[in-house]
A and B are shown apart, each in its own frame.
Chain A
């Protein structure tokens, strides 16, 4: 297997606070790599740095062998590095299909076409339908995004990323705020995506993470504590200390 996304000593600080501190990750093509860590560990900041939404203070990001450190988020999306948001971020006035189609089109070509309707772009619509089918939203294609229930909006969040036919998916807590049944549906969706896509998953649901991940990285106070298989992580004392509270071993 070859490395698809690689970071070298990635840093971001706000004043004296080091939100991410020398994070070096190496994610293989086809892998589902999870990042866990307590609240405030810098997980979302890391996703923002990887997607290009946030400019890193130092360090590099390589994607598919290319240095993308200085590329904007839209340029990275064009390369197939797509993200989803922890806080649902869809276009409320558009239908579900329009949301997905715009994502499918925008991630592959410029959108300066000013005559033919977006929904008359067959390749993009096709990709959008596939994304919606994968995320389980097929039956709601003509509803407005604003009319969806919370869980369905989360599904649309995923569908938009999938419609782009990405090479790499950055998923920021795809199950945030979902009911148990809805989470289970997303877990089985991710299970089915596994292997076809390379995925970086940030998730608080530890059971889901251990069920899905090939490898897990633990982020604590912006630093990478360790990376390993689910078994390695489960049996590691340091990780346990972090999750159970580290007062007694801090000395």
Chain B
């Protein structure tokens, strides 16, 4: 059972397969595969982070790219100043994301619905334009990461090391999300998405929990940004563009909002399909759009929700007793 081994068996298989990738890549001399999958893993971390706010808290943030950007510049700027200590990078990243996330979250949470989407978008755009205008830090062109994050025991100078780090982080994060989902904190967030009034009425100040979730997801997105900066050896304002925020939402929704596997599956699907289509046609976006529409029609619970529903229906066919959920 999943409670005994923390994750269901298929998830362990999934992570084990991913763990074999670097060996496979080095045996076949395939540099692209590791770098590509590292990028997918990084976005899977970011999507999982966004899912805390979006999937459980019901906070539709269209500004999470801001925190990816903060994470990237937390590596690039200290590196520019000659500091390559990864722990310093991490501290800068966590503090800046907490600060910016705390402030923007506090402001944004005064609103809800469409207004919340717009205000988070506005904050992210502000961050984007601030970085574009800072010519001394590369402005529009971005900034090369002159020295990779060095954590002492390991550093993130190669694609393989970023890959390994991202994989371990994603695994730990997934285990935590399984726990978080059923924990009082996760349940309070999910309850707030269903009925915010009642959450307050039973004694829980929902706004505090939502703000905590928002900041938590901001910090985790920042960490994803740190990894991305090391992988690309580059930080650019374009990684903060609202398109990235939108992509993250699509990944979460596509895979299954509010599920643990959803955001991960979503990012693999999104980036995998994108990569394949790019090889087939130059007009890949037209095909990709249609695919997203088709997947959206699976229902609001995404691929995971669709799968669970099917499993449930099959189970009911076999026997009418018991419940797979």
Contacts and interface: CB of A to CB of B under 8 A. Distances in A.
Contact of A106 (B183, B195, B199, B323): B199
B186 to A, nearest CB: 7
B203 A113 contact: no
A51 B184 contact: no
B194 A105 contact: no
B300 interface: no
Interface in A157-182: 160, 164
Contacts of A91: 190-191, 194-195, 198
B15 interface: no
Contact of B179 (A77, A93, A115, A142): A115
Given A89-B195, A91-B198, A121-B184, A114 B204 contact: no
Contacts of A82: 201-202
Contacts of B205: 72, 74-75
Contacts of A105: 184
A102 B188 contact: yes
Given A102-B188, A106-B199, A107-B203, 13 more contacts: A73-B200, A91-B190, A93-B190, A102-B202, A105-B184, A110-B204, A112-B212, A114-B180, A114-B184, A114-B185, A121-B184, A142-B323, A164-B203
A74 B183 contact: no
A114 B186 contact: yes
**Chain B: interface residue count, which band?**
20 to 34
A90 B187 contact: no
Interface of A: 51, 53, 72-75, 77-78, 82-83, 85, 89-94, 98, 102-103, 105-108, 110-119, 121, 142, 160, 164
B185 A113 contact: yes
26 contacts: A53-B201, A74-B204, A77-B200, A77-B203, A82-B201, A82-B202, A83-B201, A89-B197, A91-B191, A91-B194, A92-B194, A94-B187, A98-B187, A102-B187, A102-B191, A102-B202, A106-B202, A111-B184, A111-B187, A112-B184, A115-B176, A115-B183, A117-B179, A117-B182, A118-B184, A142-B323
Contacts of B187: 94, 98, 102, 111, 118
Interface of B: 176, 179-180, 182-188, 190-191, 194-195, 197-206, 209, 212, 323
Contact of A164 (B184, B197, B202): B202
Which 7 residue pairs of A and B lie closest in terms of their CB atoms, listed nearest first? A77-B203, A111-B184, A107-B203, A117-B182, A106-B204, A103-B202, A106-B202
B261 to A, nearest CB: 17
Contacts of A121: 184
A91 B191 CA distance: 6
Given A94-B187, A108-B203, A85 B179 contact: no
Contacts of B199: 106
A77 B194 contact: no
A122 to B, nearest CB: 13
A73 B323 CA distance: 36
B45 to A, nearest CB: 17
Given A94-B187, A111-B188, A112-B184, A74 B179 contact: no
A106 B208 CA distance: 13
A83 to B, nearest CB: 6
A93 B204 CA distance: 18
Contacts of B186: 114
A92 B183 CA distance: 18
B198 A85 contact: yes
B138 to A, nearest CB: 38
B315 to A, nearest CB: 16
